[in-house]
Structures are given as C-alpha cells and as structure tokens.
A and B are shown apart, each in its own frame.
Chain A
Amino acid sequence: MAKIVSLPQAVSDLVHDGDTVALEGFTHLIPFAAGHEIIRQGRRGLTLVRMTPDLIYDQLIGAGCAAKLVFSWGGNPGVGSLHRMRDALATGWPAPLEIEEHSHAGMANRYVAGASGLPFAVLRGYAGTDLPTHTSTISTVECPFTGERLAAVAALNPDVTVVHAQRADRAGNVQLWGITGVQKEAVLAARRSLATVEEIVDDLTPVPGAVVLPAWVLDAVAVAPRGAAPSYAHGYYDRDNAAYREWDAISRDREAFSRWLRTLEDA
C-alpha cells in the first residue's frame, strides 16, 4: 500500500546500490526529479532499465550511478547523441558500462511478461537482425500449435520502478494520461515501485484514456512539482525543447558536465 512520503525518503527507502531500476516514461512524464534524487543520494552499481535512456540516464551514467544499461533507443530525441552514455561505453568514464540492447517492441514485451508474471514474451521480431547475436535475453521459441518459430524475450522484473504522473489522491491512487508509454507494465513488473506526482488532489476526476495505478500496487507516492521537466507533463507544462538542445553541449564535455553535476548536488 502506497505511503505518501517525501522524495528523498522514497528514494532512500526503495532504491538501493546494485538494484535493477526502471525509470519509465516515453518522452512524456520522464521522472527527472526522482533520477536527480538518486544522483544526490550517490547510488552506485545500478542496472538502469529504460526504453529510451534520454537525458535522465545520460545524467545518471555521467554521475557514476550505473554499471549496466538495458535499453532500446539511446539518443537525445530530435537533437543527437547521448554523450555521457557514449563516453562511458567508449572509455569507461566515470565507470565502465555494460549494455543490453533491444528493440522497442522487445522491451515493451519484456515489461508485459514481467507484469503478467510470465518468464518470457513472444513476438514477431528480431528475425534476420544482428541483435540476437549480442543480446542474451533474445531467443526463439516454437509455437506448440503451429510449429512457427517466433522471437522470445526474457521478462523484465525491476527491483524498483519509478514513474512520474500528473496526480494522486490522498489514498495514494495515481492517475496519468496523455502518452502513457509502458508505465503501467513497468510498475506491475517491479518488486517495488514509486510514483512521483505533480500534485495530490482530493478526487481523481476521470480523464479519457488515463492509466490509474491503485495505491495497493505502489510502495510510495511523492509529490514532485515539475518533476518531469525538461520532459513534459500533459496538461501541466510543455517539453522544454531548448533544454534538450542545450544538453548536447553540456554532455559533450566532461568539465561542463561536472559543473552541471555540482549544481545539481548543491541544489
């Protein structure tokens, strides 16, 4: 049952060194505030899972929190590369980084399997590509009914999933809408989960297409206004495209990144 706690308390309680951590949100509702709190608390050796690592994982990797990255598209959307990720892979700075690379469909189905309590998921995918050669969580399975060979991907069950949402009620039920990505699956696949929210309200007025995460599938809810910025929260604030562009220069240079990191840690 979700407890409503402060963000530092939630991260301290739920995210431990060496954990497999998924911070999900597909371009929209990326839990930046929670990611920054993980950096401030100095977590190390994390396996970071996200379909699109985005700036938040570039920051966690640059801050030395990560040992491994599980992902399916690692760029700065609309801008270019993730330079901290590339630096870590090429030179091991500030820590060596292992990768496990999938396609979006593969990652989405891994969460579906995890949420469904199944050991793997089946999809039409990966056939003829070079990914299965490099990624051990991709295999094939024969359909018992038709004999057809299909791709199989191992379930993802993070130790902890963190999502950001528009709002929660006082009981800790969480509501999110707009592009809802893979957050429901990522929360239901996880052993522990945290939702940060823009605000806590008395009643969750129904919103078309919204995902509701009942309080009893969450461990903690923390209020984090603008907690998805510089990504966006539909109905609350827009994506800060300028910040995404500016990250390119900050992340290209270790010194500029280190200055950014000190600013974050002092905040």
Chain B
Amino acid sequence: MTGTTDPVSATDPLSRWSADEMMSIAAARSLRDGQACFVGIGLPSTAANLALRLHAPNLVLIYESGTLETRPEELPLSIGDGILADSALSVVSVPEIFNYWLQPGRIDVGFLSGAQIDRFGNINTTVIGEYDEPDVRLPGSGGAPEIAASCREVIVVMRHRLRAFVEQVDFVTSVGHGNGPMDRQLLGLRGAGPVRVITDLGVLEPDPETAELVLTALHHGVTVEQVRAETGWQLQVSADLMITAAPNPTELETVRGMRTVGSGES
C-alpha cells in the first residue's frame, strides 16, 4: 500500500474512497468494451454507466424498458426514464426486448443485484421469510429471472452484508447455479449463470468444481476476516486470492461526477 492510495491516512480526496465507490469501480472494470450488457436498475446501472465513461465507450447498454444501446448523460432513477429513450439507438417494446433480444442468448452480460444471494449464486428479490406470510415483501422478479437464465454470463453487484449473503435464499427468484454443478444444464438454462459477484468488500466467483461462490479477490484494505464476518456460509478463499487495485483518480472523479436524473444535485 503506498501513501498516495492509503484510504485512511491520505488527505487528498482522490486518495480516499467509500466502499460503494470501490464496488462500482470494480464492477465497471469487469465489463469489457464492445460487450452487450442487460442492465438492472440501481447498483448495476451505476457500474455499467461508469464503464461506458471509462474504458468501455462501445459498451452496449440494454434496459428492460426496451431501450437498446442507450448512453444516458445522467443516471436514470427508474428503468424507464425518458433519458434512456432519448439517448437510445432504438426503443423496442417490452415483449420484443425479452423475446427477441434477451431470450435467444445474444446478450453477453446480465448485470444484476438482489436482496439475498446464496452460496450457489441464486438470487432472491421476492420475499424474506415464507412466501404466503413473509417477514418482508420485496418488489419481486422484474426482468431478473430471464436475464439470469439467458445472458451468456451474469455479474452480480451487491453490498456484502450478513443478512444478504446467506447459505440458502428464502425464495429463488433468479437461478444462479441451483444446488450445485450441472444444475443449470439440467434445468435447460443456456447461459453460464453468475461468473462473478462483486461486493463492497471483494469478489466472489463460483468454484469450477463445486459451483460454490469462493472469495477470489479482496478490495484494497479489506481483510478475509471482514468478508467472512459478512458471509452466511463457510466461505472458502481461493489459493490465488487477488487484491483489487485501488481506484485511480480518473475512476474516482468519474464516479463522483455521475448524477441521477432529478436528484437535485448539481
């Protein structure tokens, strides 16, 4: 760790960053220029728009509202904001976006988030607790189940919290690796499923043998113990554990310069 990138001791604002900023930057880095990316609202949308402004100017952003190749000047608040339509190459209907564009497997990356994720990368956005009498009712599926099923691969962006990273999700809204290896093939799901879960603490990836999510990278300044304390299963650590490179000034300035439509910030 050098003095200029030490988030604790430095006083220059570009050598300090929040865990959320690190997460968005790490997620943005995971997208490659020219990929087609089906974007969920919230954290994935922030990261995808960041990638577009940094290293991936030809990233194709697709939102479930039917906006194809959109490049909004500000971040949308909702999945169907006018700014997405204004800046899109084309706007198609909702049946078309799912049936023609998502379902055949022509989208490279599905970029998702969720309320709960389990050790096999299954995602819950439906209920906490029992379905009929839930402790918490969440918004539900939206486009996520089919994004998780049909994109060539899935990247998940979520804050790493013990209540969210659970042994088994209360409800499978979107299938990750089911109950283990080969489950996706048995279910007839044609995409590879989650290849990476990027959190505010590090990166988890499915073990090639077991399909269980293991820790493959720690963000700059985070410890394995911190990650384990926020993970609800016996988290395994990759033998090749990486350290995520600290955010550089360009990344930080860009993420801080992004505004949400109608946020009142300037």
A interface residues (Cβ-Cβ under 8 A, vs B): 26-28, 51-52, 71-75, 77-78, 81-82, 85-86, 89-90, 101-105, 108-109, 111-112, 123-131, 133-134, 148-149, 178-182, 184-185, 209, 211, 232, 234, 238-239, 241-242, 244
Known: A27-B80, A127-B175. A108 touches B94 (CB 8 A): yes
> Among the listed B85, B95, B139, B187, which residue makes an inter-chain contact with A109, where contact means beta carbons less than 8 Å apart?
B95
Structural contact, A126 and B145, CB atoms closer than 8 A: yes
Cβ of A77: which chain B residues have Cβ within 8 Å of it? 41, 77-80
Structural contact, A129 and B175, CB atoms closer than 8 A: yes
Cβ of B145: which chain A residues have Cβ within 8 Å of it? 103, 105, 125-126, 129, 131
Q: Roughly how many angstroms separate A85 CA and B134 CA in the complex, as a whole number?
A: 13
Question: Smallest distance from the beta carbon of A26 to chain B beta carbons, Å?
Answer: 5
B236 proximal to A (CB < 8 A) = no
Structural contact, A73 and B141, CB atoms closer than 8 A: yes
Structural contact, B82 and A232, CB atoms closer than 8 A: yes
Q: Roughly how many angstroms separate A183 CA and B144 CA in the complex, as a whole number?
A: 21
Cβ of B79: which chain A residues have Cβ within 8 Å of it? 27, 77
Q: Roughly how many angstroms separate A54 CA and B91 CA in the complex, as a whole number?
A: 21
Number of A-B residue pairs at CB separation under 8 A: 173
Question: Smallest distance from the beta carbon of B48 to chain A beta carbons, Å?
Answer: 16
Known: A130-B171, A134-B131. A103 touches B142 (CB 8 A): yes
Question: Smallest distance from the beta carbon of A95 to chain B beta carbons, Å?
Answer: 17
Structural contact, B78 and A182, CB atoms closer than 8 A: no
B64 proximal to A (CB < 8 A) = yes
Closest 10 CB pairs of A and B: A27-B80, A75-B139, A77-B78, A241-B262, A78-B77, A73-B142, A128-B175, A103-B141, A105-B98, A105-B146
> Among the listed B137, B141, B142, B261, which residue makes an inter-chain contact with A131, where contact means beta carbons less than 8 Å apart?
B141
Cβ of B189: which chain A residues have Cβ within 8 Å of it? 127-128
Structural contact, B80 and A26, CB atoms closer than 8 A: yes
Q: Chain B interface mostly helix, strand, loop or mixed?
A: loop
Q: Closest chain B residue to A73 by CB distance?
A: B142
Q: Roughly how many angstroms separate A28 CA and B82 CA in the complex, as a whole number?
A: 8
B interface residues (Cβ-Cβ under 8 A, vs A): 41-42, 64-67, 76-82, 84-85, 90-91, 93-95, 98-99, 102-103, 126, 131, 137-146, 149-150, 171-175, 178, 183-184, 187-190, 260-264
Q: Roughly how many angstroms separate A178 CA and B65 CA in the complex, as a whole number?
A: 10
Cβ of B141: which chain A residues have Cβ within 8 Å of it? 72-73, 101-104, 129, 131
> Among the listed A51, A111, A124, A178, which residue makes an inter-chain contact with B91, where contact means beta carbons less than 8 Å apart?
A178
Structural contact, A78 and B78, CB atoms closer than 8 A: yes
Known: A78-B78, A241-B77. A124 touches B150 (CB 8 A): yes
Structural contact, B103 and A234, CB atoms closer than 8 A: no
9 extra A-B contacts, CB within 8 A, seeds A72-B141, A78-B42, A105-B102: A27-B65, A28-B80, A28-B82, A78-B77, A86-B137, A128-B183, A178-B82, A181-B80, A238-B262
Cβ of B183: which chain A residues have Cβ within 8 Å of it? 128
Cβ of A211: which chain B residues have Cβ within 8 Å of it? 93
Cβ of A238: which chain B residues have Cβ within 8 Å of it? 82, 262
> Among the listed A102, A109, A180, A239, which residue makes an inter-chain contact with B66, where contact means beta carbons less than 8 Å apart?
A180
Cβ of B103: which chain A residues have Cβ within 8 Å of it? 105, 123-124
Structural contact, A26 and B187, CB atoms closer than 8 A: no
Q: Roughly how many angstroms separate A134 CA and B132 CA in the complex, as a whole number?
A: 9
Question: Smallest distance from the beta carbon of A243 to chain B beta carbons, Å?
Answer: 10
Structural contact, A179 and B67, CB atoms closer than 8 A: yes
Cβ of A239: which chain B residues have Cβ within 8 Å of it? 77-78, 81-82, 261-262
- Chain A to chain B contacts (Cβ below 8 Å), 5 pairs: A105-B143, A128-B183, A129-B145, A131-B141, A239-B82
Q: Closest chain A residue to B146 by CB distance?
A: A105
Cβ of A109: which chain B residues have Cβ within 8 Å of it? 95, 98-99
Structural contact, B143 and A104, CB atoms closer than 8 A: yes
Known: A101-B126, A131-B145, A179-B65. A184 touches B93 (CB 8 A): yes
> Among the listed B91, B174, B188, B261, which residue makes an inter-chain contact with A180, where contact means beta carbons less than 8 Å apart?
B91
Cβ of B81: which chain A residues have Cβ within 8 Å of it? 27, 239
Structural contact, A124 and B188, CB atoms closer than 8 A: yes
Cβ of B78: which chain A residues have Cβ within 8 Å of it? 27, 77-78, 239, 244
